[in-house]
Structure 1
Amino acid sequence: MMLKLGILFAVAVFLETASAASLGVVQTEGGMVEGETISLGLSRSMDIFKGIPFADIPGRFEKPKRHPGWGGVLKATQYRDECLQLNFFQNSYVGSEDCLYLNIWVPHGSSVSSGLPVMVWIYGGGFMIGGSMGPYYLDNYMYYGKEIADRGNVIVVTLGYRVGPMGFMSTGDSDLPGNYGLWDQQAAIAWVHRNIRSFGGDPDNITVFGESAGGVSVSFQTLTPHNKGIIRRAISQSGVALCPWALNRDPRRFAEEVARKVNCPTDNRMASCLKMTDPGTLTKFCLNYPPNYIHTNYCTISAPVIDGDFLPDDPSNLFHNAAEIDYIAGVNNMDGHMFTNFDVPSVNLDLVVTPTNDVRRLLAALTKEKGESGLNNAYSTYTSNWGSFPTWDTIKKTIVDIETDYIFLVPTQAALYLHADHATTGRTYSYLFSEPNLLGGPLLPYPSWMGADHADDLQYVFGKPFSSPLVYWPSHRRVSDYLISYWTNFAKTGDPNKGDSAVPATWPTFTRSGEKFLEINSDMNQNYIRQEMRLRYVHFWTSILPSLPTVTSE
């Protein structure tokens, strides 16, 4: 009997595999590609393509060019190198200049898919590090698109783009205009638009989404005039174009500093000399910028610039270009915690108190242009609910709030206002992600009051609680399901509430008059629709502080 059951099971597995829908060899503009097909269970399968070139090997400090193509069938079954960047320990560099490749996940039912919505992921990493696969995490890469593609029935694409000095070095003029990494992203999105129909996707329904510097990149991709008619929807997680670290506003000064460091002249020969300098040497130059207060990107040369081309103006003046794009933007409720590890390390130490002087010192760094008046206004704003004897936890949470507000939350709210103000057909949605960090608790590295730290949302968006169930609790699977449902519904319809996936609460649009947002966590329900996210603090940073007289220059 057991033998018969075993044979029947083997036959069933064979038939399921043999009958799995597959695209087989796909014709693209560069040539034919073939990925691998995996089974997702009864009558469902997925094609996975790794390492498809979307552009040629880029010229140093040049825009990407179309790939010349290839003969035969390209076996797209291996990830390609990440772009040149600092290693994990930041004492050397890894990666390659040959790095402009993308990966695609295509789900199928009983027949090959067609007309699926497309979600294009842009990774974060401060414009300094990162890759299309992300870090290796729980027996696979973080940005493995299988769970989103399968559960949401969408095509997922992840892409590579140049980072660090090789992606963003600029002299502030036409010699080295900068933004090469943004052009790489745009080239990948345009490639998807031209080719995704062959993979079963809808080229007229592309959603770009990303986190941190990836969220900033998403924001830039909606604001540039070069993506008109290509992007239909966008999601920025913990990063928008208005973040204080999103732009290098003095590229010439930093380029000259680099030039002197690598023995290049700083006159009209500087650009040609930098182009001939070893790229690894330039990449390691980021080591000379240690983390400090306000974290306006500690490798300042690795940031986009207003170049008059990709970004023809200040981002705040470009929101008319996103008028027809549906847009979700939000933050994690303790996004700034990761950065307090550098600024105020005692925040995480139960036995070490954090004096109120740390709050004043942090606020002084963030308001230095406004002098004593700016500091006093900021301090009274952030300590108004302390009472006469604030606990140490209250003071520590205030420090995390300050960094979260300044680095992420306030600029995100400002971007949402601008998108809503300029929108014609585009809808606007705001969220706050508040699932507590997995490492928060009395016997764990972080305090028990920890909320969602920077990048905590990634594991849930990419479905890690489902692909690695033994590492997570049922509550984590709930919040992962909520995020994937909202995100993929939005990709399909432009409304996160409408699609094939049920959601726990109806998410209202964000308007300047209503200012409604959705708080997302594993215990959420209809009562988690909120209003006026930290309005007092948003008002301070966007209205009160700018109105004070400037006493010192940057």
Structure 2
Amino acid sequence: MAASFTCTVLLLLFHSAAGNPSVSTPLGVINGVTERVAFQENTYEVDKYLGIPFAKAPLGELRFKKPLPYGTFSEPYNATEDPPACPQYDSYNLGKPLGKRSEDCLFLNVYVPRQKPDEKSGHAVMVFIHGGGYAVGAGHMFESEVFASVGNVITVTINYRLGLLGFMDLDDGTSAGNFGLWDQRLALQWVNVNIESFGGVKDRVTVFGSSGGAVCTLLHMMYPPNKGLFRGAITQSGALVVPTAFQKNNKETAKHYARYLGCRYENQDDIFHCLKSATPENIIKVNSDVIAAGDMEAAMKLIISPTIDGEYVKKHPTDLYKLAESEPQSEIEFFRSLKLINGINGAEGALFIMMMGRPEDLDQLEITREQINNHHIPGAISQIYGADKKVPDSVKQLLIAEYTDWDSPDDPKRLREQVLRLNGDTYFNVPGIEMSRIHANASNVDSYVYNFIPQLHKRSLPTPAWVKKAVHGDEIAPLFGYNFAIYKDKTDLPPQWEYDLSRRMITYWTNFAKSGDPNKPVRSALPSLIWPKYSITSQQYMILDKEDSVSQFLYAREFAFWRNTLPALFREAEHAQPSTSEYGNQVDESCEKDGNCDGG
């Protein structure tokens, strides 16, 4: 009898493993598919549930509205194929092709490893928010079979509305904006309600994202009603404290879309009705036509992003931090209550180098002294202080001096390196470190920082050969175990050290999801050193490279320059004497190159 019962159970288990998986959730039955994947001579099986709808299609009257829960399934739902991506013009060209696109795009994908969980209660869960400048990307591009299997965590990837359809904010009650953020939040709520059906634990959820996905993750960390939806986050190359990163609304951007669509745009009602009735294809065609025409100024006017909507984002994060210095702010307190890994890549500024010409020409790119003085330096000042900020000449001269290689100050190839530094410090390095300083500036905080620097075999974006460190987005491929189309060519695989790095990264990330500490519970793939917590005093961080190492004071000098020295100089500028240099716009012939004057 006992033997017969045992054989029956084993037979059922074998049938389940060999056939397609199925789970019963509060929403109904969901059918998936099992896939076998290999990584570093190990083979794994993972159950995939692809294209599960978590919200009603945002069509018709639901366009420019917060998402509504999808509801229950009247019959078993077959989650076996990639869902459509949200309407968009471009793609990363990193993962699998986007495939079909539709405004009915609010789907998520669940990857469940066929291994025993690390705890009896069930698997830790990681929800990935893709980047792409709030304009491109899709959850299914980031195939998570390897990540979920090697790390032994349930992994969820999601779609959210993009571009105008995801973030239009007219600031008048008709379109409150940040719909993409609300989509993401509804997906997190879906995970909270349903993930236990897949073997996950709703109290062991970590959110992680790269670039724009990292910014969204940080915004979720500063929305106190999210308490209980996740306990920690990993933010890759994203920060909130760039003053010009958020606008109060994007009415002007909406006006430009309406004009290109041939609509009346004299008042906001006209604009709203135009954009609400336009087909998604025609909205996206506005972008494609402007870009095809090579009109970068017009293209910049069409960029759209999260806004300070008064609900999800009540105040600019920079203002929140300043207010928190004098009185408690619930957003900052919630932010610090969550565990955080925050990271920056070695050559983030190369993202903007790539916009300076055709990829095949970037290896020979040269920057002149006039360009850095009259274009790049003023652009950086506008990014930090806003286009309307009056800039004293003394501030400009100090910036010119800071971003000059004084061994060869006019060498066009040295100057391009300075432009890379300038853009990296302005958009990523200083804001990124500031986010970690804000997070770590409290007691009993679990805060970690990394700097991802290796020059990989293949880059995520077209990158000139003279850029020797990891650029924006380079961490994605090793993090997901090189499980992307461009790595399927067996004749051009990454070197072994990259696969070793990949396993370490997956282990760090998933350890953090399991325990809140990247160092445990799994140690087998990690070096003997320990990734230390980041604090205001020690500022220790992990360098991720061919071989990992621990260092201190990442971008501390740059932080002090941009956040302390320059503001102080601005305050004192009205009392300062005029300052010029041979390397500024004006030349005082009585001064030497270093700015010291001979006269008394």
Question: C-alpha separation between the residues in 2 aligned to 1:241 and 1:43?
Answer: 40
RMSD: 3.3
Deviation at 1:223, TM superposition (A): 0.9
| Aligned counterparts, 1:144-293, within 5 A | 144-243=143-242, 246-262=245-261, 263-270=263-270, 271-287=272-288, 288=290
Question: C-alpha separation between the residues in 2 aligned to 1:155 and 1:356?
Answer: 52
| 1:536 to 2:557 alignment | yes
Kept after mapping to 2: 8 A contact 1:152/1:484 = yes
Question: C-alpha separation between the residues in 1 aligned to 2:433 and 2:43?
Answer: 44
User: Structure 1, unaligned stretches of length 5 or more?
Assistant: 1-13, 135-142
| Aligned counterparts, 1:442-521, within 5 A | 446-464=464-482, 468=488, 471-502=493-524, 503-504=526-527, 505-521=529-545
Question: C-alpha separation between the residues in 2 aligned to 1:521 and 1:226?
Answer: 37
Q: 1:348 to 1:373 in 2, by over 3 A?
A: farther
Question: C-alpha separation between the residues in 2 aligned to 1:445 and 1:315?
Answer: 32
Kept after mapping to 2: 8 A contact 1:161/1:185 = yes
Question: C-alpha separation between the residues in 1 aligned to 2:247 and 2:401?
Answer: 31
Deviation at 1:43, TM superposition (A): 9.9
- Report the equivalent of 2:326: none
Deviation string for 1:491-529 (max 9, x for gaps)? 1111111122442231111111111111111122xxx21
Question: C-alpha separation between the residues in 2 aligned to 1:291 and 1:433?
Answer: 34
Task: Indicate which of 86, 96, 105 corresponds to 2:111.
Answer: 105
Deviation at 1:245, TM superposition (A): 6.2
AA paired with 1:539? A
User: Structure 2, unaligned stretches of length 5 or more?
Assistant: 1-10, 94-98, 321-330, 383-388, 574-600
AA paired with 1:256? K
Of 400-409 and 312-321, the range deviating more from structure 2: 312-321
Q: 1:530 to 1:345 in 2, by over 3 A?
A: farther
- Three-state SS of the structure 2 residue aligned to 1:284 is helix
- Report the equivalent of 1:314: 316
Question: C-alpha separation between the residues in 2 aligned to 1:147 and 1:401?
Answer: 34
Question: C-alpha separation between the residues in 1 aligned to 2:415 and 2:360?
Answer: 9
| Aligned counterparts, 1:374-393, within 5 A | 374-383=395-404, 385-388=405-408, 392-393=412-413
Deviation at 1:228, TM superposition (A): 1.4
Deviation at 1:148, TM superposition (A): 1.2
- Three-state SS of the structure 1 residue aligned to 2:421 is helix
- Three-state SS of the structure 2 residue aligned to 1:464 is coil
Question: C-alpha separation between the residues in 2 aligned to 1:387 and 1:323?
Answer: 43
Task: Indicate which of 78, 82, 85 corresponds to 1:82.
Answer: 85
Q: 1:301 to 1:176 in 2, by over 3 A?
A: farther
- Report the equivalent of 1:138: none
Q: 1:109 to 1:396 in 2, by over 3 A?
A: same
- Report the equivalent of 2:69: 66
Question: C-alpha separation between the residues in 2 aligned to 1:355 and 1:174?
Answer: 48
Deviation string for 1:394-446 (max 9, x for gaps)? 3322211111111111111111111112x555411111100114358xxx972
Question: C-alpha separation between the residues in 1 aligned to 2:90 and 2:230?
Answer: 33
| Aligned counterparts, 1:14-33, within 5 A | 18=15, 20=17, 24-33=21-30
Percent of matched pairs sharing the same residue:
31
Kept after mapping to 2: 8 A contact 1:37/1:46 = yes
| Aligned counterparts, 1:394-413, within 5 A | 394-413=414-433
Question: C-alpha separation between the residues in 2 aligned to 1:448 and 1:301?
Answer: 29
AA paired with 1:402? L
Aligned residues: 518
Of 38-47 and 209-218, the range deviating more from structure 2: 38-47
- Report the equivalent of 2:380: 366
Deviation string for 1:179-224 (max 9, x for gaps)? 0000000100110011000000010011100111111111111111
Deviation at 1:359, TM superposition (A): 2.5
Task: Indicate which of 28, 35, 38 corresponds to 2:35.
Answer: 38
Question: C-alpha separation between the residues in 1 aligned to 2:458 and 2:50?
Answer: 33
Deviation string for 1:125-153 (max 9, x for gaps)? 1001110122xxxxxxxx11111111111
AA paired with 1:533? L
Q: 1:389 to 1:312 in 2, by over 3 A?
A: closer
Q: 1:449 to 1:126 in 2, by over 3 A?
A: closer
Q: 1:538 to 1:343 in 2, by over 3 A?
A: farther
TM-score norm. by structure 1 comes to 0.85
Question: C-alpha separation between the residues in 1 aligned to 2:219 and 2:131?
Answer: 13
Deviation at 1:18, TM superposition (A): 4.6
Question: C-alpha separation between the residues in 2 aligned to 1:247 and 1:463?
Answer: 33
Question: C-alpha separation between the residues in 2 aligned to 1:390 and 1:34?
Answer: 63
Kept after mapping to 1: 8 A contact 2:456/2:498 = no
- Three-state SS of the structure 2 residue aligned to 1:540 is helix
- Three-state SS of the structure 1 residue aligned to 2:355 is helix
- Report the equivalent of 2:578: none
- Three-state SS of the structure 2 residue aligned to 1:241 is coil
Kept after mapping to 2: 8 A contact 1:437/1:453 = no
- Report the equivalent of 1:303: 305
Kept after mapping to 2: 8 A contact 1:128/1:299 = no
Kept after mapping to 1: 8 A contact 2:350/2:467 = no
Q: 1:352 to 1:190 in 2, by over 3 A?
A: closer
Question: C-alpha separation between the residues in 2 aligned to 1:435 and 1:160?
Answer: 30
- Report the equivalent of 2:567: 546
| Aligned counterparts, 1:436-447, within 5 A | 436-438=455-457, 446-447=464-465
Q: Which has the larger Rg? A: 2
Q: 1:191 to 1:452 in 2, by over 3 A?
A: same
Question: C-alpha separation between the residues in 1 aligned to 2:510 and 2:310?
Answer: 34
Deviation string for 1:8-50 (max 9, x for gaps)? xxxxxx9996573889321223321010123468996321110
Of 57-66 and 222-231, the range deviating more from structure 2: 222-231
Kept after mapping to 2: 8 A contact 1:21/1:111 = no
Deviation at 1:544, TM superposition (A): 2.7
| 1:340 to 2:353 alignment | yes
Deviation at 1:81, TM superposition (A): 0.4
Deviation at 1:69, TM superposition (A): 2.2
Deviation string for 1:432-465 (max 9, x for gaps)? 100114358xxx9722452101111110100017
- Report the equivalent of 2:587: none
Instruction: Give the 4+ runs in structure 1 shifted more than 6 A.
Output: 14-17, 110-113, 289-293, 344-348
- Three-state SS of the structure 2 residue aligned to 1:495 is coil
- Report the equivalent of 1:140: none
Question: C-alpha separation between the residues in 1 aligned to 2:562 and 2:445?
Answer: 27
- Three-state SS of the structure 1 residue aligned to 2:512 is helix
Of 28-37 and 60-69, the range deviating more from structure 2: 28-37
TM-score norm. by structure 2 comes to 0.79
Kept after mapping to 1: 8 A contact 2:117/2:153 = no
Kept after mapping to 2: 8 A contact 1:20/1:43 = no
Kept after mapping to 2: 8 A contact 1:260/1:266 = no
Deviation at 1:61, TM superposition (A): 0.3
AA paired with 1:394? R
Task: Indicate which of 316, 340, 347 corresponds to 1:327.
Answer: 340
Deviation at 1:114, TM superposition (A): 5.6
- Three-state SS of the structure 2 residue aligned to 1:133 is helix
Question: C-alpha separation between the residues in 1 aligned to 2:308 and 2:433?
Answer: 22
Kept after mapping to 2: 8 A contact 1:516/1:532 = yes
Question: C-alpha separation between the residues in 2 aligned to 1:98 and 1:491?
Answer: 31
AA paired with 1:20? A
Q: 1:35 to 1:424 in 2, by over 3 A?
A: farther
